[in-house]
Amino acid sequence: MSFSRRSFVKTLGVSTIGLSALPILNSFRFPAEKFLRKSPESQGVSSESILNFLAAVRKSGIEWHSFMLLRHGNVVAEAWWKPFEVDYKHTLYSLSKSFTSSAIGFLVDEGKVSVNDKVISFFPNDLPAEISANLKAMTIKHLLTMNTGHKTDTMPVLRQKEPQTWVKSFLQHPVVFEPSTHFLYNTGATYMLGAILHKVTGKTLEEYLKARLFVPLGIENYDWEKSPEGLNTAGFGLRVGTEDIAKFGQLYLQKGKWNGKQLISEKWIEEATSKQTTSQAGDNDWSQGYGYQFWRCKPGFYRGDGAYGQFCMVIPEQDAVLVMTSESFDLQKSMNIAYENLLPGFLKDALPENPELLKKLKNEIQTLSLPVTKSKTFSPLMAKYSDKRFKMDKNPYGISEMGFGLFPDAGVVRFFDNKEIKKMGFGWEKWQVNKNGVVNRFPIPYRTQSTSKIAATATWLNDNTLQINMKFVEAVHGDKMTVVFEGDKVTINLLSSISENAKNTPETRVVMTGVMVG
């Protein structure tokens, strides 16, 4: 099957779809703050293809958080799955790498570095006692193309060797192969790009990109995780909104030009998104070649992507950009759903407006929501345990006391920290978003513990078993708290969405126990 367009994503809440029947515009001079909204048909996209995509998403069992589809510089469809919303930022995982690559592009354009510069030249005080020939040969381009010569991803090693700096640990890690002869997806290599930028400019990636990328594109309310030495993590950890990802993709589609100004050179865009190296073996979307922190796609275009389905797909032949965010445990399936349903809907010319079909699409988007577990919303034990305090046995989370407010219309979990009470509300078999961002009190191992709004829904599995499902709506993952009340005792089991869905990540967090004290 010949595909011409990119993938699509699932979303929630109220979405905007432009209804005006305007001709296709090839001008890219839209405001930096916000894209124009146009009907799919006016931009040569079939609303039926979008409906087909949403139907396939619904059947897939994959959890989408948002999507946005642009053609000719205009948004033709967008959606967020409740409890995710338009104004929430989202963790990008490795899609952050494409932003880091862009920072290096700015440096190259400014003549401050060359992709052929040797990595060791930037870190004379961090080098190992013995510098191997392979380490000596490593260049910025090898970092960009994941051809450093390492046999294993360096990121786990960087974390294991703390408090030693990540830079020193990277430079000490054995470079088994000659650089450029062995492709290995290596997040530590991306971190080194950010470290080089800091050596050259004295700025973090976040600081450096502010004036060059974020401000010109109107990207606000972003943040980027930092390493122990205070540098942005580079290969992961950036959080921006769905439309911000779309702006980034549109900048690349326009070959680095924004509102008539060349922000980053067309030469860099071409290099970064072209196949610079062979990639992984097989016949999938990771075997099509790799550029400068961008992947090539089977249908012939390119993408930045991150774990669990954070996609920015740029489709030059269709003058289109597709953004998807999700918690997917089958990324190829996610992409195939987009390929098979969306790409056939791109046509060369505008289509006749179809108000009936457009209304159907709008209504479908407005109903999108993550599923909630349903059993029953009442237990005869609610009055017995509501507003009581439980003294918790010693636990790794430092939680000394907990309590539960169990009311007919909603509920709340309370954490008693000295004189302060911290709360997390939940709805009965419906999502309730806690607007004040908090850090999960039960950290999920090896996941970024970013502050996030938490959405929660709960149900009674039986009279004494309360299940509370949480979603971190400014991140990716979720958590499940199963609370069993028995006499004056409480037992709490935790299950992250990763452990629940991934085959190789068992839940390792301890079971919590406590006793009612009043």
The string of pLDDT tens digits covering residues 327-352 is 999 999 999 999 999 999 999 999 99
**pLDDT number for residue 475:** 92
Run of H or E residues at 358:
helix 355-366
Going residue by residue through the chain, which has 518 residues, state the pLDDT in tens, using 9 for 90 and above: 333 323 333 322 333 333 333 333 333 344 455 899 999 999 999 999 999 999 999 999 999 999 999 999 999 999 999 999 999 999 999 999 999 999 999 999 999 999 999 999 999 999 999 999 999 999 999 999 999 999 999 999 999 999 999 999 999 999 999 999 999 999 999 999 999 999 999 999 999 999 999 999 999 999 999 999 999 999 999 999 999 999 999 999 999 999 999 999 999 999 999 999 999 989 999 999 999 999 999 999 999 999 999 999 999 999 999 999 999 999 999 999 999 999 999 999 999 999 999 999 999 999 999 999 999 999 999 999 999 999 999 999 999 999 999 999 999 999 997 778 889 999 999 999 998 877 788 988 777 667 889 999 999 999 999 999 999 999 999 999 999 999 999 999 999 999 999 988 999 999 999 999 98
Confirm if 8 and 341 have CB atoms less than 8 A apart: yes
The string of pLDDT tens digits covering residues 159-194 is 999 999 999 999 999 999 999 999 999 999 999 999
Rounded Cα distance between 345 and 172, Å, is: 51
Domains and CATH numbers, the chain: 1-88+243-250+309-371 (no CATH), 89-240 (3.40.710.10), 382-516 (2.40.128.20)
Give the residue from 89, 69, 84, 72 showing the smallest Cα distance to 17.
69
Q: Is the pTM of this model over 0.75?
A: yes
Longest dimension (CA), the chain: 72
Instruction: Enter the tokens of residue 90.
Output: 């989202």
Rounded Cα distance between 70 and 78, Å, is: 9
Burial class (CB in 10 A: 0-12, 13-18, 19+), 172: middle
Burial class (CB in 10 A: 0-12, 13-18, 19+), 143: buried
Rounded Cα distance between 445 and 23, Å, is: 51
- Mutual angle of helices 96-109 and 187-201, in 10-degree steps: 40
What residues form DSSP beta bridges with 483? Answer: 466, 492
Burial class (CB in 10 A: 0-12, 13-18, 19+), 287: middle
**pLDDT number for residue 13:** 31
User: Tokens 């970013």 sit at which residue?
Assistant: 450
What residues form DSSP beta bridges with 452? Answer: 438
Run of H or E residues at 415:
strand 410-417
**pLDDT number for residue 439:** 74
The amino acid sitting at 471 is: K
Beta strand pairing call for 432-438 and 452-462: antiparallel
